[in-house]
């Protein structure tokens, strides 16, 4: 595998072979290595959530940034209760203090499964990922809060062609639930996310 160290060694050998063009060769080599590094660098950020004080701890959230064709940021949301209620809507309002730029909302995703009594995953309508730009268009038959062995994770995805390099941001998350009597009520929680950007060299 070609590495930056091997490329530099090759450049040094070329300098000794053709001394008259040594500096020119070295400069070209360094520029090439720097360009290769930028093109092959992949960064990610794992954000640690710090929820503001709230008597209601129904909503739990984490966030993650990674790079692919574009730059992506996801906010994973779990709604934990002692009963299983229908989730009518989830709205995420992200904010950032020192910059106006924030990635554009892309779509919602719902991932769900539950366990059998022996601890194995059960199939059927669960163990499935659904995605849609409109939350209300996600399947309703398992769009519920976490309860017992049932697990449902909702994710709001954001996307950007610009670099997502901020390490702090906040998000206000509002969840609208419907109880057994058909009454609607909302849960609100504000999260302050903090993380450290990590970059690595990748051959891809």
DSSP calls for 135-196: GGGS-STT-B-BBTTEEEEEEEEEEESS----SEEEEEEEEEEE-TTS-EEEEEEEEEEEEE
Each of the 204 residues of the chain gets a pLDDT tens digit; together they read 444 445 445 555 555 555 545 655 555 545 544 444 444 567 888 898 887 767 778 999 999 988 777 789 999 999 988 888 999 999 999 988 766 678 899 999 998 776 555 555 555 555 678 899 999 999 888 788 987 767 889 999 999 888 887 888 999 999 999 998 999 999 999 999 998 877 776 654
What does the block give as tokens for 73?
């940021």
CA 195 – CA 62 distance, rounded (Å)? 11
User: Does residue 15 contact residue 172 with C-beta atoms inside 8 Å?
Assistant: no
pTM for this predicted structure: 0.72
Cα 187 from Cα 25, distance rounded (Å): 63
């Amino acid at each position: 595998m070609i590495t930056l160290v091997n490329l530099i060694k090759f450049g040094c050998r070329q300098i000794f072979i053709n001394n008259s063009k040594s500096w020119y060769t070295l400069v070209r080599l360094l520029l090439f290595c720097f360009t290769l590094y930028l093109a092959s660098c992949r960064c990610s950020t794992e954000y640690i959530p710090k929820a503001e004080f709230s008597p209601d701890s129904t909503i739990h959230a984490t966030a993650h940034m990674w790079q692919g064709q574009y730059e992506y940021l996801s906010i994973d949301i779990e709604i934990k209760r002692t009963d299983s209620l229908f989730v009518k809507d989830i709205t995420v309002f992200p904010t950032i203090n020192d910059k106006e730029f924030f990635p554009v909302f892309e779509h919602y995703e719902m991932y769900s499964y539950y366990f059998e009594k022996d601890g194995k995953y059960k199939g059927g309508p669960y163990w499935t990922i659904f995605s849609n730009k409109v939350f209300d268009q996600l399947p309703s038959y398992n769009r519920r809060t976490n309860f017992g062995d049932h697990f449902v994770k909702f994710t709001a995805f954001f996307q950007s062609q610009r670099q997502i390099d901020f390490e702090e941001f906040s998000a206000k998350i509002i969840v609208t639930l419907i109880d057994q009597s058909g009454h609607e009520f909302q849960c609100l929680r504000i999260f302050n996310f903090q993380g450290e950007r990590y970059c690595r060299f990748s051959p891809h």
